[in-house]
Structure 1
Amino acid sequence: MSEPSAASGGETPFRPRASLRTAVVWEVLKDALDRRAKAADVPGGVLDVLDTGGGTGNFAVPVARLGHRVTVVDPSPNALFALERRAAEAGVADRVRGVQGDAHGLFDVVERAGYDVVLCHGVLEYVDDPAEGVRNAAAALRPAGTLSLLAAGLGGAVLARALAGHFTEARRALGDPAGRWGEGDPVPHRFTAEQLTGLVGDAGLRVGSVHGVRVFADLVPGVLVDTEPGAVDALLQLETAVAELPAFHSVASQLHVLAERD
């Protein structure tokens, strides 16, 4: 498992500990971009990528460093300002465009069927209608386009609350339609793998793969990772090994679905 790096055409936007949260998704996404670039009939294999809710560019900038054009849609002007600065520092300002908007009004700011790849990471948790969010992301794809969908997992939240001793909250999240553990829960929606793949299918896309993300990273005490030599690499390898195993999807903090338009 490797992070985006200058040698691979990407950026290294994450500290080693933070890479535990992002490395699985990045590797899956990078492979998907490579496949789509080879298959797409476009000059130089340069793709048009839409990153909905892309914020400050954690994924958009590394994707641009691979040579692709990226449009980031985000409701926060501060995030878009940080994105512009980050893209300039990375030398990809000409390939990254920030637009203020949200998933609900997506086609007020971008065109339908205009993108080879759409990233919808950390968006569905916060929209009023997750199904609409997925439909809009799907509608932004060109024929044979690819959707990368990342959302909070229900099982991971239940497990985390239980391990913290908050058993009532864990039980409440398990039975809540939105997967929330209480009024103080900062996440409006959580999902099971079946719910996410159902939303993707209903939007007319074919599910290619499902990955569990942060299966262990959020549960392992930081002192173990920070003080044990080689612990970060070993944990990354473990996360990679279990990411595609359905048995671990039910306890992942996040779920990643890769889907395609036929």
Structure 2
Amino acid sequence: MGRRLRVLDVGLAHGTQALRLARAGHEVTALEADAATVAAVRTALAAEPAGIRERVRLIEGDGRDTGAHFTPGAFDIVLCHGVLMHVEEPDPLLAGLARVLAPGGLLSLVVRNADALALRPGLTGDWAAALAAFDSPYCLDPSSGARLRADRRETLTATLAGIGAPLRAWYGVRVFTDLPAAAVPGPPGPDGVPAAGLDAVLAAEERAGRTDPYRAVAGLLHLCGVRGG
């Protein structure tokens, strides 16, 4: 993008996004509620050169409390990937994230796709779960078995418009590979993706994630809203 951006990463996971952005020269603030996750990322950050360490700030806190930590318009980009699926009421969180975006700033969301919940259990022959998925916004994580909440693109589109960060673009994520590792053809690699032919898998996912009708049945959705003003 040609300039140093101020990035807020809500939900650290392994810190992959935060570290990659810092290595690219951007200023990253990471907000994470789990103390053990924060500690693990601090350890990983300690191994980075001083210049990168100086560009990352780790804060232990809830993404719903952005008003307590940041001023309005404090960030050019807000990342909220894999977080909404753990939140029962997403609207207050999204409103708080939009509040800290500068005019023209990007709000990037990765969510479970509620419009495709029946597809995964159906493909693995779990017909009871497939039928139940038509009437419930909840599902089980294919990898961990944890209970997750899913969102519908139509609903999030309306929410983003209402908080002043209307949807600009959206993509499907894991169109073909959002299955338990045992159900994915080929020897499983990281995150259940076949280790053999990984480049081909990624190319197919990239193409499908941008193409209708495939992207609409992806296990995850990547939605990008842009703050008005």
The TM-score normalised by the length of structure 2 is 0.86
Cα distance change, pair 76–147 in 1 and its aligned pair in 2 (3 A)? same
Counterpart residue number, 2:132: 172
Alignment counterpart, residue 120 of structure 2, candidates 141, 156, 160: 160
- Please report how far the alpha carbon of residue 54 of structure 1 lies from its aligned counterpart in structure 2 after TM superposition: 1.9
Give the Cα–Cα distance (whole angstroms) in 2 for the partners of residues 129 and 227 of structure 1: 37
- Please report how far the alpha carbon of residue 198 of structure 1 lies from its aligned counterpart in structure 2 after TM superposition: 2.2
Counterpart residue number, 1:123: 83
Which amino acid counterpart does residue 31 of structure 2 have in structure 1?
Answer: V
Report the secondary structure of 2:170's partner residue. Answer: strand
- Please report how far the alpha carbon of residue 227 of structure 1 lies from its aligned counterpart in structure 2 after TM superposition: 6.5
- The answer to whether the aligner puts 1:236 opposite 2:194 as a matched pair is no
Give the Cα–Cα distance (whole angstroms) in 2 for the partners of residues 233 and 227 of structure 1: 9
Alignment counterpart, residue 9 of structure 2, candidates 45, 48, 51: 51
Which amino acid counterpart does residue 14 of structure 2 have in structure 1?
Answer: T
Structure with more of its chain in helix, by fraction: 1
Alignment counterpart, residue 65 of structure 1, candidates 4, 19, 23: 23
Alignment counterpart, residue 249 of structure 1, candidates 215, 218, 223: 215
Structure 2 unaligned segments of length 5 or more: list them.
Answer: none
Counterpart residue number, 1:112: 72
- The answer to whether the aligner puts 1:223 opposite 2:181 as a matched pair is no
Give the Cα–Cα distance (whole angstroms) in 2 for the partners of residues 133 and 140 of structure 1: 11
Structure 1 vs Structure 2 CA RMSD? 2.1
- Please report how far the alpha carbon of residue 175 of structure 1 lies from its aligned counterpart in structure 2 after TM superposition: 1.1
Which amino acid counterpart does residue 127 of structure 1 have in structure 2?
Answer: V
Give the Cα–Cα distance (whole angstroms) in 1 for the partners of residues 172 and 195 of structure 2: 26
Contact 2:185 2:194 in 1 (8 A): no
Which amino acid counterpart does residue 32 of structure 2 have in structure 1?
Answer: D
Alignment counterpart, residue 188 of structure 1, candidates 148, 157, 169: 148
Post-superposition CA distance 1:136-159 (Å, at most 9, x none): 111110111111111111244321
Counterpart residue number, 1:14: none
Contact 2:187 2:194 in 1 (8 A): yes
Cα distance change, pair 254–119 in 1 and its aligned pair in 2 (3 A)? same
Give the Cα–Cα distance (whole angstroms) in 2 for the partners of residues 246 and 132 of structure 1: 31
The percentage of counterpart residues that share the same residue type is: 31
Q: Give runs of ≥4 in structure 1 deviating > 4 Å.
A: 224-228
Structure with more of its chain in strand, by fraction: 2
- The answer to whether the aligner puts 1:261 opposite 2:221 as a matched pair is no
Give the Cα–Cα distance (whole angstroms) in 2 for the partners of residues 60 and 139 of structure 1: 21
Counterpart residue number, 1:88: 46
Post-superposition CA distance 1:3-22 (Å, at most 9, x none): xxxxxxxxxxxxxxxxxxxx
Structure 1 unaligned segments of length 5 or more: list them.
Answer: 1-33, 39-44
- Please report how far the alpha carbon of residue 226 of structure 1 lies from its aligned counterpart in structure 2 after TM superposition: 4.4
Aligned residues between the structures: 215
Cα distance change, pair 83–111 in 1 and its aligned pair in 2 (3 A)? farther
The TM-score normalised by the length of structure 1 is 0.75
Which amino acid counterpart does residue 157 of structure 2 have in structure 1?
Answer: T
